[in-house]
Amino acid sequence: MKKLETREDIELLVNKFYNKITEDETIGFFFKDVVKVDWDKHLPKMYSFWETILFGQMSYKGNPMQMHFPINEIQAIEKHHFAQWLKLWKQTIEENFTGQNASLAITKSENIANLMAYKMEMARKR
């Protein structure tokens, strides 16, 4: 199995991940119905996001949390949605990559998803 080392690797990983996401019964609707995602814009942002996290490239300039509050207002993003997101992310990584960066991509996503789930829940209580 391959190591997760280059921008091309990230592109492959992210593309495969969103293929799973859009097919998914639990969370696919967020990306197709709640938000009509413009994939030509979203995918390059996600490549840069992961490039920044894994390789320290600083190509992503944005606020990953902020984007999710308005979605959460239209349709609550709940714990079980994040669990499914993480399951698919982990699955896609493990099917394609191995090594330190692959593990890092999993642990980072867990930390961000947990924080995001907490923030979304708090926002719904306000």
Q: Provide the minimum distance between the beta carbon of 3 and ligand HEM in the complex, in angstroms, as a whole number.
A: 21
Q: In sequence order, what are the residues at sequence separation of 6 or more whose Cβ sits closer than 8 angstroms to the Cβ of residue 106? A: 89, 90, 93
Is the Cα dihedral 25, 14, 86, 126 positive or negative? negative
SS3 38: coil
Task: Kindly state whether residue 62 participates in binding ligand HEM, applying the rule CB under 6 A.
Answer: yes
Number of residues that bind ligand HEM (CB under 6 A): 22
Residue 81 annotated as binding site: no
Instruction: Give SS3 for 63.
Output: coil
Query: How are beta strands 2-3 and 97-98 bridged, if at all?
Result: parallel
- Residues between 105 and 124 that touch ligand HEM (CB under 6 A): 109, 112-113, 116
User: Residue 45 interacts with ligand HEM (CB under 6 A)?
Assistant: yes
Nearest distance in Å: CB 37, ligand HEM? 4
Closest CA to 101 of 5, 2, 1, 10: 5
Binding site for ligand HEM (CB under 6 A): 27, 30-31, 35, 37-38, 42, 45, 49, 62, 64, 67-68, 71, 77, 81-82, 85, 109, 112-113, 116
